[in-house]
Amino acid sequence: MSETKLSIGAESLTVLADLLRQPAVSQVLVVADANTARLCYPLLKPYLPATHQLLEIPAGEEYKTLATCDTVWCHLTEKHADRFTVVVNLGGGVVTDLGGFCAAVYKRGLRFVQVPTTLLAQVDASVGGKTGVDFMGFKNQLGVFQEPVGVFIDPQFLTTLDPRQLKSGYAEIVKHWLIADAAAFDEQRHQGLFVDDWTPVIRESVATKQRIVAADPWESGLRKVLNFGHTVGHALESYLLAQPGREILHGEAVAAGMLCESWLSHQRGLLSQPELDRIETFLFSIYDKIQFVTMETEAIAELALQDKKNSGRTINCTLLQGIGQAIYDQPVTLTELADSLRYYHRL
């Protein structure tokens, strides 16, 4: 089981079943949240060994913490998990990030597989080997790079999503177009979310991310382009997550972040006004504007000081040098970030 597998489509769970039947697997532990345990686990169960175990954790970004990791690690210890145990993470980005992190550090590394159930996890969170949890209110503050044994993407899980979750995941697909595929953006933006078969869209988006990750596995250079929209997006998401009743989904924050960072790109003379207009028109055709007041912009911007792409207190941002081409490590100031949020607020 040393070679990473990627399977996308209706046959993916059958491929997973074959992998888990190998003699080198002593135990199978499924980690799912309250939602995926109810909606997605019944679809997965027929493909699992009869002796597998299910561990249900609470659902929601607010539970992507070390406290939840403690629950997973205690369960692994109580069940005498050994180095031949395989952890199956069934869920969206919270489950795949957290479950992968728990497996990666338990006994210096258990094997794990990702079975992403949201569009966001299928095209982004489950691919690329990033794992982690939030800490002190900051997104993915703790984590490690650890490739899963396999990623098994079955679009049937998308039927369990409400429209808001589907739109959240779609933001990462749009991001891939904006940073690496101008032709796809021009072609696909007219279709939007009216997709009969998600498999080709997922394959294309995953392939884009894989190409970038393969060129820079440890995020020392090119891979940073995948963070487009995330400098502002993570700051906005973290700020609102700390305020009960104002929480937003990751993809919603990224969509807002892409608008802000596209505006910054235009301010730097990197992105033309017609390109900025096309991006704004498209994103606002799908996403509602996130509500905050102008007095909050500085506080939101300051959270970007904790961004993992920074060098010391220099905030490094990914910007667009035209649609379909991104440039990374672009220093931005807190004032510029706050200005971009004020611009978004006025739109």
What is the pairing mode between strands 315-320 and 326-332?
antiparallel
Pair 231, 261: CB distance under 8 Å? yes
User: CA-to-CA distance for 268 and 184, rounded, in angstroms?
Assistant: 25
- A 10 A CB-CB count for 325 gives 16
Per-residue tokens: 232: 């502002």
User: CA-to-CA distance for 61 and 290, rounded, in angstroms?
Assistant: 18
- Taken as a whole, the chain contains a residue count of 347
User: CA-to-CA distance for 50 and 268, rounded, in angstroms?
Assistant: 58
Least confident of 117-131, 200-214, 258-272, 303-317: 303-317
Whether 153 has a pLDDT exceeding 60, the answer reads yes
**Tens digits of per-residue pLDDT, 290-313?**
999 999 999 999 999 988 788 888
The gap between the terminal CA atoms of the chain, to the nearest Å, is 51
The arithmetic mean of pLDDT across residues 307-329, rounded, is: 92
Phi, psi (degrees; rounded to nearest 5) at 216:
-155, 75
| β-sheet bridge partners, residue 5 | 150
**Tens digits of per-residue pLDDT, 242-251?**
999 999 999 9
* DSSP alpha helix (H) spans, 79-162: 93-105, 119-120
How far apart, in Å, are the Cα atoms of 294 and each of 233, 249, 255?
16, 21, 19
163-346 CATH choice from 3.90.1420.10, 1.10.3720.10, 1.20.1090.10, 1.10.4010.10 = 1.20.1090.10
Sign of the Cα torsion 111, 116, 122, 126 reads negative
Pair 259, 225: CB distance under 8 Å? no
Q: Write b or e for each residue in 203-228: b if 16 or more Cβ atoms lie within 10 A of its Cβ, otherwise e.
A: ebbbebbeebbeeeeebeeebbbbbb
Per-residue tokens: 338: 């706050």
Least confident of 92-106, 126-140, 188-202: 188-202
- Percent residues over pLDDT 70 in the chain: 99
- A 10 A CB-CB count for 87 gives 26
Whether 1 has a pLDDT exceeding 60, the answer reads no
Judge if pTM exceeds 0.85. yes
The predicted structure's pLDDT at residue 126:
84
Whether 2 has a pLDDT exceeding 60, the answer reads no
Taking each helix axis from N to C end, the angle separating 250-267 and 273-284, rounded to the nearest 10 degrees, works out to: 160
- Percent residues over pLDDT 90 in the chain: 91
Pair 167, 120: CB distance under 8 Å? no
The predicted structure's pLDDT at residue 3:
60
The arithmetic mean of pLDDT across residues 187-199, rounded, is: 85
CA 114 to chain CA centroid, Å, is 13
Q: Where in the chain are the domains?
A: 5-160, 163-346
Per-residue tokens: 244: 């009960």
What is the pairing mode between strands 85-91 and 111-116?
parallel
In 3D, which of 196, 51, 34, 52 has the Cα closest to residue 117?
A: 34
Domain 5-160, classified CATH 3.40.640.10, yes or no:
no
